[in-house]
Structure 1
Amino acid sequence: MNTKAVTTETFEAARHGDRNAIVRLLERTQPDIRRYARATCRTADVDDATQETLWLLSRHVGAIRALATLSNWLFSVVRRECLRLARRTGMIAAVDEDALETSLVQRPEHVLRLDLAAAFEALPPHYRDVALMRDLQEMTIDEIAAALDLSRQAVKARLHRARLLLREYLAE
């Protein structure tokens, strides 16, 4: 998120309920929220996820403790909204972790290897790179961040999303 777009004064005033500050905060974060939604959601869900995230921000800005955590909070809300919208439309089924684990254990090793390779191939490149570096090359978060010129938070978010997508793919 472009933290320069939101000043500490605006953020703190919004946290304390200043309506004008909340409006400024929403206006300044909206482009980033939309960008997150475009990267995470199906095209049809971008507007709904953006709107829901803005609404949640307006209602819960007081619970966000620091401007530095705003970006992570927004990204988490957008991601959760995209998943919720995809599940609601039947595009993604909720993953039953126990059933998935049982299914994976029962697959022959050669089939499991092919399924894993296909799951990694199905990931968008920016998620695939992070997941491969962490899970196969066993790089640390800091090493991945340095190699890809990303923040630790971006690496963690991409890794989390990649693992969710891998689970969903393997559960099919």
Structure 2
Amino acid sequence: MTALAGARRCDPLLIEAARSGDADALVALIAIAQPDIRRYAARNCRAADIDDAVQETLLLLYRRVGTLRAVTSFSAWLFAVARRACLRLLRRAAGGAEAPADDAEARLAHRAPEDIRIDLSRAIQSLPDHYREVILLRDIEELSIDDIVGVLGLTRESVKARIHRARIMIREYLIRD
């Protein structure tokens, strides 16, 4: 079984209910996701950091599940949260303290939402056509990977690679001055 397989098996209605503020659904979602997060942390964190990474991930799930834009992106979102928790704990162990936020990311955090929307639109427009197409389908139209595969006639791997590369290009566009 792969990491976060249980999160992928979660009923979309359960995720939607948790997003909407149903406390019972949120508790059930955390109970379902916890073993998979622990398995992921066991593979990717130092042994001393496993419990902390799981706790940080579950806490963020509890606090931020309502901000999740698409139910279909739940497992990818949770995977990214767990990965960042492992990396943050590793940096903390290596340097004695948590690394400060990147200057470019800090600048973005303090910008007006309207300015970020304009820059994001420009960043998407600057993408090559084949990257722009998958980003629009995934992040704007909120199609699943399988739906994008059907629309574009590509393999799952190529769709996922294009999405990944497009997001990197968008990030680079946004953080450069």
TM-score by length of 2: 0.51
Of 3, 6, 10, which residue of structure 1 is paired with 2:14? 10
Could you list the per-position Cα deviations for residues 12-49 of structure 1 after superposition, in whole angstroms to 9, with x for gaps in the alignment? 11001111000000001111111211121111111110
Distance in 2 separating the partners of 1:54 and 1:31? 11
Cα distance, 1:85 vs. partner? 0.8
Which residues of 2 match residues 31-42 of structure 1 at below 5 A?
31-42=35-46
Distance 1:56 1:39, change over 3 A: same
Q: How does 1:1-172 map to 2 (within 5 A)?
A: 1-2=4-5, 3=7, 5-90=9-94, 145=157, 152=160
| 1:47-105 CA distance string (max 9 Å, x none) | 110011001001000111222211111111111111111111127996xxxxxxxxxxx
What SS class does the counterpart of residue 89 from structure 1 fall into?
helix
What is the identity, as a one-letter code, of the residue corresponding to 1:21? A
Separation (CA, whole Å) in 2 of partners of 1:38 and 1:144: 27
Q: Shift of the alpha carbon at 1:152?
A: 3.4
Q: TM-score, normalised by structure 1?
A: 0.52
1:86-137 residue CA offsets vs partner (Å, 9 max, x unmatched): 111127996xxxxxxxxxxxxxxxxxxxxxxxxxxxxxxxxxxxxxxxxxxx
- Larger deviation, residues 58-67 vs 82-91: 82-91
C-alpha distance in 2, partners of 1:22/1:144? 30
Judged with a 3 Å threshold, the aligned counterparts in structure 2 of structure 1 residues 40 and 16 are, in CA distance, closer, same or farther, namely same
Q: Aligned AA for 1:152?
A: K
2:81 maps to a residue whose letter is V
Moved more, 55-64 or 5-14: 5-14
Across the aligned residues of Structure 1 and Structure 2, the Cα RMSD in angstroms comes to 3.3
4+ runs of 1 displaced by more than 2 Å? 1-5, 91-94, 142-146
Contact 2:12 2:72 in 1 (8 A): no
The answer (yes or no) to whether the contact 2:15–2:25 under 8 Å persists in 1 is yes
1:5–1:28 contact (8 Å) kept in structure 2:
no
Unpaired segments of 5 or more residues in structure 2? 100-153, 169-177
Aligned residues: 108
**Structure 1: distance between partners of 2:30 and 2:22:** 12
Q: Distance in 2 between matches of 1:26 and 1:82?
A: 18
Task: From the CA coordinates, give the structure whose radius of gyration is larger.
Answer: 1
Decide whether aligned partners of structure 1 residues 144 and 13 sit closer, same or farther in structure 2, where only a CA change above 3 A counts. Answer: closer
- Gap runs ≥5 in structure 1: 95-141, 161-172
